[in-house]
Chains A and B, each alone.
Chain A
């Protein structure tokens, strides 16, 4: 139980809950809304998912299967219609399950579009959460920012605004921003989408470093199935409203299941 980073039990998500938390609405409203019982109206039902500490897991699946929604549930942005979530062995009851509460457990998230604050420079973007939470003196924070920028190789762009950067740059800044918070569990939504091959090949060792040096647990949602081969991690699929067991890349490549036939056909013929 205590070597688990994340445990999800019997998670259901109805279509009407996908939009997620509105910060204008009090949490109570969503809590007392009653449960959706019609399985036809659910994006996925009965998802069980366990991640061990220090483990890296990829979540794959076709478009529209709810991969990103699952990640948003883990980050606390969407409250599941039904189900329990444990972070590091600690149960958070649904009435307290918000992104702020989850973020206190050192869970970081990298969004698909980076989601940098557009009126702050790159440096201030990375510094924002550190300054907000007063994580150390100004000198320490500066040192941490520089370290994060060096790690993601965005030091030269430190004084630019996000709209001056390319998509790949923005994504790297977003990863640097999450890394600077020292997350114990890092959620990544499509980290390689929109990156060219060179940057993609640079990014993967960085993710690898993060998990070996800092023992970060990483959950990656991706279309890019080769990531799991290159990072040598397990991959599971959202398929027909269910989440499969995490299995290695080679297992999926050689198995005879429906998922393998659908998603690994190209990889099989090419290699």
Chain B
């Protein structure tokens, strides 16, 4: 018979007690619990019950669900958004005589900042919320409990495919978003110019636009095109699963959890975006001396 573990923490030495209290404090925060859930989901990838066939099938299904079904809306949003940005930037900058920053502005607005964020918003609104309702109703019907009593880890069976699938879909959708915002946006702008009888009075050609953009884009942008959506996807899906698993056994909590999932995803995504953008701020500060 194993001796009972002593539950009180009075025996701890002061540094241990400090760490203990710090850990408990972090785990009491919602963000800390979400981080714990995220790490648990990642760790469950390597659990003994892994099977490549089932896992890849689940992940591909989840990627399809997250990514492909949101594509039509995302395509339209990206195209119109790209059109607006191209028209505004080119007319405004041409008027003010800053024609040489057109490329950098398009890169900053579409590829660097708003592309990933709008993609994340669309995916949070559509796939994050449906993930919350799906897992939430499983919690209500005690299906999650049933999974656990069968020895099937709910974190592995439900959260992990959503997490990985969400990240993959976010990356692909983000690339689609930026590409269609620039390429299709260019053609729609051309169409708008044709329809309005050259009212905008701009000489816009594909060569001009593409050279400007290619000159402005840097290697770090290519890294961030992959990194940002990965972070956002992880945030959205972890948050969605967390809110769902957090539901008390009460049906009215499901819609509440869904709206919490979407709104908090927006919040966390924007906060994470600011933190990721610190990289560019640092770069800018370092180059300040050369600018002045």
Write the residues of chain A forming the contact surface with B, with a CB cutoff of 8 angstroms: 19-26, 28-29, 31-32, 35, 72, 75-77, 84, 91, 93-95, 98-100, 102-104, 107-109, 111, 113, 115-118, 128-129, 131-134, 174, 177-178, 181
The verdict on A115 contacting B33 (CB below 8 Å), with A100-B151, A132-B157, A134-B49 known, is no
Bound-state CA distance A91–B155 (Å) is 25
Pull 23 A–B residue pairs with CB atoms less than 8 Å apart, ordered by A: A23-B154, A24-B243, A24-B246, A29-B24, A31-B7, A35-B7, A72-B145, A76-B148, A94-B7, A95-B5, A99-B148, A103-B148, A103-B149, A103-B151, A107-B149, A109-B146, A113-B141, A115-B142, A115-B145, A116-B146, A128-B150, A131-B54, A134-B49
Residues of B within 8 A of A113 (CB): 141-142
The minimal Cβ–Cβ distance linking B140 to chain A, given in whole angstroms, is 11
Bound-state CA distance A76–B51 (Å) is 26
In addition to A22-B245, A98-B148, 12 A-B residue pairs with Cβ atoms within 8 Å of each other are: A24-B241, A29-B24, A32-B9, A35-B7, A91-B2, A93-B5, A99-B148, A108-B150, A113-B142, A115-B141, A174-B146, A178-B150
**Chain B 228-247 near chain A by CB (<8 Å), digits 1 or 0:** 00000000000001111110
Cβ A129 vs Cβ B141 within 8 A:
no
Bound-state CA distance A23–B51 (Å) is 23
Residues of A within 8 A of B23 (CB): 28
Interface of B (DSSP majority class): helix
The minimal Cβ–Cβ distance linking B248 to chain A, given in whole angstroms, is 6
B residues 114-169 near A (Cβ < 8 Å) are: 138, 141-155, 157
Residues of B within 8 A of A102 (CB): 149
Residues of A within 8 A of B154 (CB): 23
B residues 213-272 near A (Cβ < 8 Å) are: 241-246, 248-249
Does residue B37 face the partner (Cβ distance < 8 Å to A)? yes
Bound-state CA distance A1–B248 (Å) is 38
Residues of B within 8 A of A103 (CB): 148-151
Interface core residue of B5, B146, B153 (most chain A CB under 10 Å): B146
Residues of B within 8 A of A133 (CB): 49, 151
Residues of B within 8 A of A21 (CB): 148
Cβ B148 vs Cβ A23 within 8 A:
yes
Cβ B245 vs Cβ A23 within 8 A:
yes
